[in-house]
Amino acid sequence: MGENLTVSGLAEDRLCVGDVHQAGSALLQVCQPRQPCFKFALRHDNKHLPKAMVRNGFSGWYYRVLRVGQLAAGDALTLYHRPNPDFRFTRLVEIIYRGKATAEEIRRMAGLEGLASQWRDHARHMLGHGPQSPGS
C-alpha cells in the first residue's frame, strides 16, 4: 500500500535517480517519476493540469522502500546515499515524457542502479536487448 508524502524544500531539480533518503527509520529510494493522475485534474476542474505539472517540473517521484520503518509528520528527510550523482532526476523526467534520450543515456538507463525495473527494461528494449516497453 502506498502513501503520499509532502516534503518541504525538496524538488525534482535537487534529486538524482536512485537517491536514497532516510525518513524516520525508513530508507526510501527515488526510482521513477510519477504521473499526476486524472483525479487531480477532476478535483481542480482542469484537464490540462497533470501535463502542465510535468511540463513545469512538478511531476513528483515514486520511492521504493529499501528498509521498512516508522516515519511521522515533521521527521527530517536526509540524503543517505547517492549512487548516480551524474544522472539528474529532471533529465529522467525529460527522457520519459519527451523521449529525447541520447544513445549513451539509453545504455546507461538499461543498468542504472535504483531506476525502476520497467524503465531499465524499456531501455534494454530500445537497445534491442529486452522485453517490451511500458505501455506497449
Q: Would you place residue 136 in the very low, low, confident or very high pLDDT band (cuts 50, 70, 90)?
A: very low
Cell of 49: 493540469
What's the mean pLDDT in 91-119?
93
Confidence band of 132 (pLDDT split at 50, 70, 90):
low
Q: Which of 19, 24, 97 is nearest to 62 (CA)?
A: 19
CB 114 within 8 A of CB 29: yes
**What's residue 97's pLDDT?**
84
CA distance 21 to 65: 10
Instruction: Give how far Cα 126 sits from Cα of 58, 70, 110, 121, 122, Å.
Output: 26, 39, 9, 9, 6
Domains along the chain with CATH numbers: 14-126 (2.40.33.20)
Indicate the pLDDT class of residue 124, thresholds 50, 70 and 90: very high
pTM, rounded to two decimals: 0.83
* pLDDT, tens digit (0-9, with 9 covering 90-100), for 27-83: 999 999 987 667 777 877 877 776 766 666 667 899 999 999 999 999 999 999 999
Is residue 123 a contact partner of residue 109, using CB atoms and an 8 Å limit? yes
Per-residue confidence (pLDDT) for residue 125, from 0 to 100: 92
